[in-house]
C-alpha cells in the first residue's frame, strides 16, 4: 500500500482499498468515472459540456451521460452510480464510480486508480465531501468493461494478499 496516498486521504486505509493501476496522466477521475480512459476531462482541457468549476458543471456532464440524482451509495441492481465530490466553496474536486460488486473505482488525478470500499474513503481536505450521488441504468456497452474491472479488482486483491503474505515477519 502507499504511505503517501494514505497521508493524502486519511480515511482510505480504514475504509479499505487496493491500488488497481499504475500511475498515468492519460485520463483523470471524471474521464474514468465516465468510462473514458483516453482523455483528461477538465474545463479548459477537454470538457464535453457547459464549463465551470462548480458542482453543477460536473453534474451536468453526468446528466448528459444519462445519470440522474439519487439518494445514496447503496448498490442497486441494474444501475450504476457515481459519487461527486466538492470542496467547501462548492467547486467540484472528484468523481468516483461504483462497480457491480459495490466497491468504488477512483482515478486519483495524475496518479493511480484505486478500488475503495465506500465513497467516504476519499473525503477530506483534498477532495472535500461527497455532495451528489447520481445513477443510471447499467449500459449494455459497459457490461464488458465492468466485468473486466471486477476481474481486475479480484486480481488486485489477490496480488495485494500475495505481497502481504511474502513480507518477511519482523
Partner 1 sequence: MITLTPEQQQDVAQRFQALATRWIATTRYRSKTQALRNHPVYQELVALGEPVVPLILVELEQQPRVCWFIVLTGITGENPVPPAHAGQVDAMARAWIDWGRQRGYAV
CB of 76 to partner 1, least distance (A): 26
Nearest alpha carbon to residue 97 among 114, 112, 110, 78: 114
Minimum separation from the CB atom of position 148 to partner 1 (A)? 22
Cα separations in angstroms, 27 against 7, 21, 70, 108, 149: 23, 12, 26, 10, 16
DSSP state letters, 100-130: TTS-EEEE-TTS-EEEESSGGGG-BTTTBEE
Q: Select 26 or 155, whichever has its Cβ closest to partner 1.
A: 26
- Residue closer to partner 1, measured from CB, 23 or 74: 23
Q: Element (H or E) spanning 168, and its range?
A: none
Give min distance, CB of 26 to partner 1, in A: 6
Nearer to partner 1, 5 or 150 (CB): 5
Considering the complex, state which of residue 31 and residue 134 has its C-beta at the smaller distance from partner 1.
31
Residues that bind partner 1 (CB under 8 A): 4-5, 8-9, 25-26, 28-31, 38-46, 53, 91-95, 107-111, 126
Q: How far is the CB of 31 from partner 1 (least distance, A)?
A: 7
Gap between the terminal Cα atoms of the chain: 18
Least distance in Å: CB of 25 to partner 1?
Answer: 5
Tell me if 123 sits within 8 A of 83, measured CB to CB.
no
Is residue 134 a contact partner of residue 70, using CB atoms and an 8 Å limit? yes
> Looking at beta carbons only, is 32 or 100 nearer to partner 1?
32
Amino acid at each position: 500500500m502507499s504511505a503517501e496516498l494514505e497521508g493524502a486521504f486519511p480515511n482510505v486505509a480504514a475504509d479499505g482499498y487496493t491500488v488497481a493501476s499504475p500511475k498515468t496522466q492519460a485520463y483523470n477521475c471524471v474521464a474514468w468515472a465516465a468510462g473514458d480512459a483516453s482523455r483528461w476531462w477538465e474545463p479548459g482541457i477537454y470538457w464535453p459540456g457547459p464549463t465551470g468549476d462548480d458542482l453543477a458543471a460536473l453534474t451536468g456532464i453526468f446528466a448528459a451521460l444519462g445519470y440522474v440524482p439519487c439518494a445514496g451509495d447503496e448498490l442497486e441492481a441494474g444501475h450504476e452510480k457515481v459519487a461527486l465530490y466538492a470542496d467547501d466553496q462548492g467547486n467540484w474536486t472528484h468523481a468516483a464510480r461504483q462497480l457491480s460488486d459495490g466497491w468504488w473505482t477512483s482515478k486519483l488525478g495524475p496518479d493511480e486508480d484505486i478500488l475503495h470500499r465506500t465513497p467516504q474513503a476519499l473525503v477530506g481536505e483534498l477532495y472535500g465531501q461527497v455532495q451528489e450521488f447520481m445513477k443510471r441504468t447499467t449500459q449494455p456497452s459497459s457490461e464488458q468493461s465492468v466485468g473486466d474491472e471486477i476481474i481486475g479488482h479480484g486480481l488486485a486483491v489477490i496480488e495485494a494478499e500475495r505481497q502481504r503474505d511474502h513480507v518477511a515477519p519482523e
